[in-house]
Amino acid sequence: MSKNEEKDILQDTDAEDMTDLADEKDGHEKKGGFRLNLNLILLAAIVFVIGFSAYRLYRWNKGTPPEDIPDAAETDFDIEVLDNLIPLAPDKREGYVDDGVTTILCLGDDPFSLELGENGLAQQIAKKTGATVYNGSFTGTTMAAQFASYNDGYILDAFSFSYVAKSLANGDFELMKTAASYSYDENFAKTAQMLSELDMNNVDMICVMYDGSDYVNKRPCDDPNAPYAEITYTGALRSGVKAIQEAYPHIRIVVMSHTFCHSIDENGNFQNGDRADLGHGTLSHYLQKELDATMDVSVSFIDNFYGSVNEDNYLDYMTDYIHFNDAGRELLAQRFADCLFPQQSEE
- What is residue 61's predicted lDDT score, i.e. its pLDDT? 45
13 inside domain: yes
Q: What is the pLDDT of residue 346?
A: 58
* Number of domains composing the chain: 2
Q: Assess contact for 317 and 328: CB atoms under 8 A.
A: yes
Q: Write the pLDDT tens digit of every residue in 197-241.
A: 999 999 999 999 999 999 999 999 999 999 999 999 999 999 999
Write out the residue range of the structural domain in which residue 9 sits.
1-63
Q: Is residue 20 part of a domain?
A: yes
Residues 8 and 118 in one domain: no
Query: DSSP readout, 89-114?
Result: PGGGGTT----S--EEEEEESHHHHS
Query: Residue 168's closest CA among 202, 144, 121?
Result: 202
Closest CA to 160 of 207, 258, 230, 112: 230
CA distances from 181 to 79, 146, 158, 194 (A): 45, 20, 12, 14
Q: Per-residue pLDDT averaged across 332-344, rounded?
A: 93
Whether the pTM exceeds 0.75: the reply is yes
Q: Supply the CATH number for residue 288's domain.
A: 3.40.50.1110
The answer to whether residues 57 and 101 belong to one domain is: no
Establish if 72 belongs to a structural domain: no
For the chain, state the CA radius of gyration. Answer: 38
282 within some domain: yes
Confidence check: pLDDT of 345 > 70: no
Q: What is the pLDDT of residues 144-198, one digit of tens each?
A: 999 999 999 999 999 999 999 999 999 999 999 999 999 999 999 999 999 999 9
Residues 44 and 176 in one domain: no
Greatest CA separation found in the chain? Answer: 153
pLDDT at 102 over 90: yes
In-domain check, residue 76:
no
Average pLDDT over residues 62-72: 42
Rounded CA-CA distance 156/159 in Å is 5
Residues 59 and 94 in one domain: no
Statement: residue 29 has pLDDT above 70 = no
85 within some domain: no
Residues 267, 208, single domain; the answer is yes
Position 56 pLDDT exceeds 60: no
